């Protein structure tokens, strides 16, 4: 397989696995209502405490009082940035064997 086809093959595998997981969720009875409940639990247990932690960090660092809407926007953008870094690191670790195989195939 050509080197430039590897990322596309991995993308196809990842999307196929995501589709299988979505189909399994539907077949096992995890409909929209059940998924909404699970998302609500994740929001309550993970996202809201993390937002409060980030806002408290901002309150400690900021030399003056900031408006509430700015603190909320800051917390949401910081969460998006953290999630992006985590996803990038996980994707890099998962693709490491592929890149190593491509490196070895190049003859270095």
**What pLDDT was estimated at residue 1?**
56
Between 82 and 26, the more confident residue is 82
Alpha-carbon span 94 to 6, nearest angstrom: 13
Average pLDDT on 26-43 reads 77
Q: Quote the pTM value.
A: 0.64
Q: What is the DSSP string of 55-92?
A: HHHHHHH-SSPPPHHHHHHHHHHHHHHHHHHHHHHHHH
The pLDDT value given to residue 108: 61
Residue 57: the pLDDT is: 93
Minimum mean pLDDT range among 2-6, 36-40, 49-53, 65-69: 2-6
Please give the pLDDT value at position 93: 83
d(CA 100, CA 94): 11
> For the segment 54-99, what is each residue's pLDDT rounded down to a tens digit?
999 999 998 889 999 999 999 999 999 998 898 888 888 877 877 7
Q: What are the tens digits of pLDDT across the range 12-23?
A: 788 888 888 877
């Amino acid at each position: 397989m050509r080197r430039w086809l590897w990322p596309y093959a991995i993308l196809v595998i990842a999307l196929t696995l995501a589709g299988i997981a979505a189909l399994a969720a539907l077949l096992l009875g995890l409909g929209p209502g059940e998924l909404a409940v699970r998302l609500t639990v994740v929001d309550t247990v993970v996202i809201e405490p993390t937002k409060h932690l980030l806002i408290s960090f901002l309150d400690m660092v900021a030399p003056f009082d900031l408006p509430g809407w700015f603190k909320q926007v800051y917390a949401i953008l910081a969460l998006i940035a953290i999630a992006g870094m985590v996803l990038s690191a996980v994707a890099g670790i998962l693709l490491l064997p592929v890149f190593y195989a491509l490196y070895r195939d190049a003859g270095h």
